[in-house]
């Protein structure tokens, strides 16, 4: 039987959507254990156990103050202790770095940006800025995979119950850099950009006014994203950037507003299930990959769309 270890890094009071997807995917592959880097509330641990997880590996020391080095060392030791055949992580920049470092320690193959996975562990991912879809399979005994949110369905949880805790000794990690402080991101009430099922993203064409985009996103229960041009202009925080140098997303619906669709931007959203493009320029490259396109003024189109959505109660 395949043993799957799921790495969870930022527990809150309850499991996030992306974490539920990872646990569901793991359950479809074999027996599931969890490697938990930080302390967690009891409700969170009960939620982990509700997905059939019997064992939760925890570090015997604080590994969160030395950037990713301590977490990678802990994950490698947890994978050895669990005799894991497959290790699953999220797809954030930090998760990819942890996967790479753990892969070196374990001499394991690493595949990032996974959007589908078959029973033989052949992973599908996009490469070269989304220009190609490729199938990858590691040639080592152990596979480490980082999985894009919204790529797998989260199954219904079972009865809440806390898994058995196993402490894993982590050797001393000499940090090249140390965290000296943290600043909490303001709470917007919208879903996290990388986990959102709907994203409304704006570019240079919004001319600094994200109000209509925020209204549409709120009507759809979605998140607000942006191109690099918009974040560099200071119109929205850099954490909202989608693209090759920003975040990679794969929502069910991606609404591109006033974005030309250069390859750098497309690399971050091209795997979205449905893409709707709104742009005044009918020759914008974004229309090449859009499922639906609207040539028009966003300040006219978006308010009408938002009003209609709210009227229908969608």
Annotated binding residues for FAD: 204, 227-228, 241-245, 279
What is the bridge-based pairing of β-strands 143-147 and 109-117?
Answer: parallel
**Tokens 């394991």 sit on residue:** 108
Instruction: Tell me if 248 sits within 8 A of 268, measured CB to CB.
Output: yes
Instruction: Tell me if 168 sits within 8 A of 77, measured CB to CB.
Output: yes
Query: Phi, psi at residue 298, to the nearest 5°?
Result: -60, -30
Helix (H) or strand (E) holding 73: helix 69-82
Beta partners for residue 89, in sequence order:
146
The residues near 56 (Cβ < 8 Å, ≥ 6 apart) are: 33, 34, 35, 36, 45, 48, 162, 163, 164, 165, 166
**Tokens 């996967």 sit on residue:** 99
Sign of dihedral through CA atoms 101, 7, 116, 243? negative
- Specify the length of the chain in residues: 314
Residue of 248, 259, 233, 155 whose CA lies nearest to 195: 248
Which residues define the annotated binding site? 204, 227-228, 241-245, 279
- The DSSP 8-state label assigned to residue 241 in this structure reads B
Residue of 314, 267, 311, 273 whose CA lies nearest to 286: 267
């Amino acid at each position: 039987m395949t043993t799957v270890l799921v790495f969870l890094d930022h527990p809150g009071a309850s499991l996030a959507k992306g974490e539920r997807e990872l646990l569901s995917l793991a359950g479809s592959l074999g027996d599931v254990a969890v490697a938990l880097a930080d302390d967690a509330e009891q409700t969170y641990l009960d939620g982990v156990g509700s997905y059939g997880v019997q064992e939760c590996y925890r570090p015997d020391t604080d590994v969160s103050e030395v950037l990713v080095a301590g977490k990678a060392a802990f994950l490698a030791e947890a994978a050895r202790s669990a005799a894991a055949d497959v290790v699953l992580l999220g797809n954030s920049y930090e998760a990819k770095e942890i996967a790479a470092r753990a892969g070196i320690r374990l001499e394991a193959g690493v595949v990032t940006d996974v959007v589908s996975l078959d029973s033989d562990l052949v992973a599908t991912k996009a490469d070269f800025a989304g220009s190609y879809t490729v199938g990858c399979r590691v040639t080592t005994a152990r596979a480490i995979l980082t999985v894009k949110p919204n790529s797998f369905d989260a199954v219904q949880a079972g009865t809440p119950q806390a898994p058995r805790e196993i402490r894993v000794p982590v050797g001393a990690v000499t940090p090249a850099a140390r965290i000296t402080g943290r600043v909490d991101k303001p709470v917007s009430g919208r879903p996290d950009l990388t986990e959102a099922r709907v994203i409304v993203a704006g570019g240079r064409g919004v001319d600094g006014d994200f109000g209509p985009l925020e209204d549409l996103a709120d009507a759809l229960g979605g998140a607000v994203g942006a191109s690099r041009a918009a974040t560099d202009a200071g119109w929205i925080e850099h954490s909202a950037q989608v693209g090759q140098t920003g975040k990679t997303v794969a929502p069910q619906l991606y609404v591109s507003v006033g974005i030309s669709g250069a390859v750098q931007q497309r690399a971050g959203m091209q795997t979205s299930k449905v893409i709707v493009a709104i742009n005044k320029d009918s020759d914008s490259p974004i229309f090449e990959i859009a499922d639906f396109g609207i040539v028009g003024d966003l300040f006219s189109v978006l308010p009408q769309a938002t009003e209609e959505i709210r009227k229908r109660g969608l």
